[in-house]
Amino acid sequence: MSWFKIDWSGYYPVDTAHTRPESRNYGIYAIHEMESRVPRKLLYIGETYTQDFGKRMKQHQRDWLHKYNGVRMVVSFGRICTPNGKRISQEIVFDIEGVLIHNLIPPCNTSGKKGYRGREGIIVFNTGKSGVLSNVVSDDKELLSLLRRHLT
C-alpha cells in the first residue's frame, strides 16, 4: 500500500495559467468548469513529468480547450508529496493520475476511465484548492469506504 498527498494550488484561468510561477512545476493538474467563484465540474485530470504544467496547458489550449470557447475554465496544479520524502518517479505520477481518472471519470479524458492497471493499494489525499475532487481517492474500494467513514 502506498499513499500520496496532493497539495493543490489555483484556480488559474486556463488561457493564462502558463504565466503563473507555479506553471514551471511538475505533478498532477485538474481542469474545472467554473461557476461564479466555485469549481462546478471536473473536466480533465492530467500529469506532467517530462515537461512542466505551463507547456501542457499550451498544448491543451491548442489541441482541445479552444473548443470550449465561452466556458469559464480554470486549472489547479497539484504538487505530489510522498511519505518520508520518497523520490517521485514517472511510475508514481502515472499511477496517481490513473487512480484519479478511474475514480472521478472526467469527461474530457479519453483514456483510463474504464479501468486502472497500475500498482495496487494507492491512496491519494487531496488538500488545498482541489475543486470538486474527493478528499480521499483510492483504487481499493473497501479501504476507501473505511477511510471516508472515519475522515468525515
Residue 113 has pLDDT above 80, yes or no: no
- Chain segment 94-105, per-residue pLDDT in tens: 999 999 998 899
DSSP code for 89: P
Residue 116: pLDDT band (50, 70, 90) is: low
- Chain segment 8-38, per-residue pLDDT in tens: 999 999 999 999 999 999 999 999 999 888 8
| pLDDT > 70 fraction of the chain, expressed in percent and rounded | 94
| pLDDT value at residue 44 | 96
Which residues face 79 on adjacent strands?
7
Residue 152: pLDDT band (50, 70, 90) is: low
Distance CA 1, CA 140 (A): 10
Residue 117 has pLDDT above 70, yes or no: no
Number of Cβ within a 10 Å radius of residue 48:
21
In this prediction, residues 1-14 reach a mean pLDDT of 92
In this prediction, residues 137-144 reach a mean pLDDT of 83
- Chain segment 44-74, per-residue pLDDT in tens: 999 999 999 999 999 999 999 988 888 899 9
Instruction: Round the CA-based radius of gyration of the chain to a whole number and report it.
Output: 15
